[in-house]
A and B are shown apart, each in its own frame.
Chain A
Amino acid sequence: MTITAAELRERVAAFLATHDPATMDRMEFLRARYDAGLAWIRFPEGHGGLDAPQSLQPVVDEAFRDAGAPDNRARTNGIGLGMAAPTILAFGTEEQKRRFLRPLWTGEEIWCQLFSEPGAGSDLANVGTRAVRDGDEWVVGGQKVWTSGAHNARLAILVARTDPDVPKHAGLSYFLCDMTDPGVEVRPLRQITGEAEFNEVFLTDVRIPDAQRLGEVGEGWKIANATLNQERVSIGAGASARENGMIGTVARTWREHPELRTPELHDRLLRLWVDAEVARLSGLRLRQKLATGRPGPEGAGMKLTYARVNQQLTGLELELLGEDGLVYSDWTMVRPEVIDMTGRDAGYRYLRAKGNSIEGGTSEILRNVIAERVLGLPPEHRVDKDRPWKEVAR
Chain B
Amino acid sequence: MSSDLDLLYSDVEDDLRSSVRDLLADRCDPTVVVGLYDGDRSLVDALWKPLAVDLGLTGLLVPEDQQGAGATAREAAVVLEELGRAVAPVPFLTSSVVATTLLLEADGDLLPRLATGERTAALVVPLNTAPHGPIPACSVDAAGRLTGVVSAVAGALEADELLVPARDADGTLSLHAVAAADVEVTPTVSLDMTRQLARIRLADAAGRPVLGDAEPSIRRALLAGAALLASEQLGIARWCLEETVAYLMQRHQFGRPLGGFQALKHRLADLSVGVESAAAAARYAAAAVAADDPDVPVAAALAQASCSDLAVTAAEEALQLHGGIGMTWEHPMHLYLKRAKADQIAFGTPGSHRARLAELVDLPGAGA
Contact = CB atoms under 8 A, between A and B. Distances in A.
A62 B312 CA distance: 42
B278 to A, nearest CB: 18
A1 interface: no
B345 A326 contact: yes
A367 B264 CA distance: 12
B352 interface: yes
A211 interface: no
B236 interface: no
A191 B191 contact: no
Interface stretch (A66-74, A225-233, A356-364): A356-364
A319 interface: yes
A323 B328 contact: no
Interface string B247-281: 00000111110000101100000000000000000
A187 interface: no
Nearest to B344: A319
Contacts of B252: 394
Contacts of B37: 194, 331
Interface stretch (A8-16, A120-128, A132-140, A281-289): A120-128
Interface residues of A, number: 48
B132 interface: no
Which size class do B's interface residues fall under? Answer: 35 or more
Contacts of A382: 254-255
A341 B343 CA distance: 24
A322 B320 contact: no
A392 B327 contact: no
A318 interface: yes
Interface string B337-366: 110011011100101101100000000010
Interface in A352-394: 354-355, 357-358, 362-364, 367, 380, 382-384, 392-394
Contact of B355 (A145, A264, A327, A329): A264
Contact of A319 (B152, B192, B324, B351): B351
Contact of B337 (A191, A354, A392): A354
Interface in A113-154: 116, 121-123, 126, 145-146
20 contacts: A122-B253, A145-B324, A189-B328, A190-B329, A190-B330, A191-B328, A315-B341, A318-B191, A325-B191, A326-B191, A327-B190, A327-B197, A328-B189, A331-B37, A347-B191, A354-B320, A354-B327, A382-B255, A384-B254, A384-B255
Interface of A: 116, 121-123, 126, 145-146, 189-192, 194, 262-265, 311, 315, 318-319, 322-323, 325-331, 333, 347, 350-351, 354-355, 357-358, 362-364, 367, 380, 382-384, 392-394
